[in-house]
Structure 1
Amino acid sequence: MTTTHKGTCFCGSVEIEVSGTPEGMGYCHCASCRAWSAGPVNAFTLWQPGDVRVTKGAGVLDRFAKTPNSERQFCTKCGGHVMITHPGLGLTDVPAAVVPSLAFEPGVHVNYAETVLPMRDGLPKFRDFPAEIGGSGEHMPE
């Protein structure tokens, strides 16, 4: 049986569903994610694109791409974040807070060289990204 989690933008005009199991979960410390999330760190969940569906409000969903690496999607009514497509990875990031019923189990920190909030949690901390997805694979100490 496939597990499905539902989520919404801040005002509820956009609704999404994610199905199955995320490809990964963790924290991103890059300046772009921090600015986008308006916080010191961004909690992400990565999904296969076919496992993420907009079920309501597609007409009020807009997109912004500061770089070709990430296309951020948000509600035009409230500005609430909904998802981020990563073309180079072939994955869709749904911020952890958007799907509250999903048990967030982070496994990694990425872009830890840019952190403004050191986190001592025993998880692997990559300078940028793991080598398997195009990063240096270089680990950083807590």
Structure 2
Amino acid sequence: MHNTTYRGSCLCQGVQFEVDQIEPRMAHCHCSMCRKFHGAAFATYGEARKNNFRWLRGEQLLKSYTAKNRSTRRFCQNCGSSLTFAPAKQNDFVEFALASLDTEIKQTPDAHVFTAYKADWYKIIDDLPQFKEGRLTLDR
């Protein structure tokens, strides 16, 4: 784990947050919901313990969308930037869009998840482990 404080924001800078420690696991998610929510071939998420994540500004600008699978995604109502994801089964972690960080990060993603649903026009060309579904979280 890296003990640096990272700052992030939405495109319009109306929503800003801070993360004290980013967990070691980061993944490129290829599920159809992440692809549609981010408008891209995949979404890349970092994780932090809830007590290491803080909204600094603009929390009132956040809107939520709860999908059919009961996962909740939060985004800025002004600019539409995708910011966080929470699975239906709540846990002690916040997943945030890695691309929303303004501070340089040295960690890199360590896996591709939900590759069974990846866009047919996208080819994974790196050597990261690939999981057809989500990976098991028993090591937490």
Query: Could you tell me whether the CA contact under 8 Å between 1:26 and 1:109 is conserved in 2?
Result: yes
- CA displacement at 1:43 relative to structure 2: 1.1
Distance in 2 (CA, whole Å) between partners of 1:102 and 1:6 is 10
Distance in 2 (CA, whole Å) between partners of 1:79 and 1:115 is 23
Q: Does 1:98 align with 2:103?
A: no
Q: Does 1:24 align with 2:25?
A: yes
Structure 1 equivalent of residue 55 of structure 2: 54
Mean Cα deviation higher: 45-54 or 24-33? 45-54
- CA displacement at 1:86 relative to structure 2: 2.4
Structure 2 gaps of 5+ residues are none
- CA displacement at 1:67 relative to structure 2: 3.2
Q: Do the aligned partners of residues 5 and 68 (structure 1) sit closer, same or farther apart at CA in structure 2, a change above 3 Å counting? A: same
- CA displacement at 1:6 relative to structure 2: 0.5
Please give the per-residue CA displacement for 1:9-41, whole angstroms capped at 9, x wherever unaligned. 110000000111324111000000000000011
User: CA RMSD of the aligned region, Å?
Assistant: 1.9
2:130 partner letter? K
- CA displacement at 1:122 relative to structure 2: 1.1
1:131 partner letter? L
Counting only pairs closer than 5 Å after superposition, residues 106-117 of structure 1 correspond to structure 2 as 106-116=109-119, 117=122
Query: Could you tell me whether the CA contact under 8 Å between 1:28 and 1:112 is conserved in 2?
Result: yes
Of 116, 119, 127, which residue of structure 1 is paired with 2:132?
127
- CA displacement at 1:76 relative to structure 2: 1.1
Number of equivalent positions: 133
Structure 1 gaps of 5+ residues are 134-142
- CA displacement at 1:78 relative to structure 2: 1.2
- CA displacement at 1:8 relative to structure 2: 0.5
- CA displacement at 1:87 relative to structure 2: 4.4
SS at match of 1:132: coil
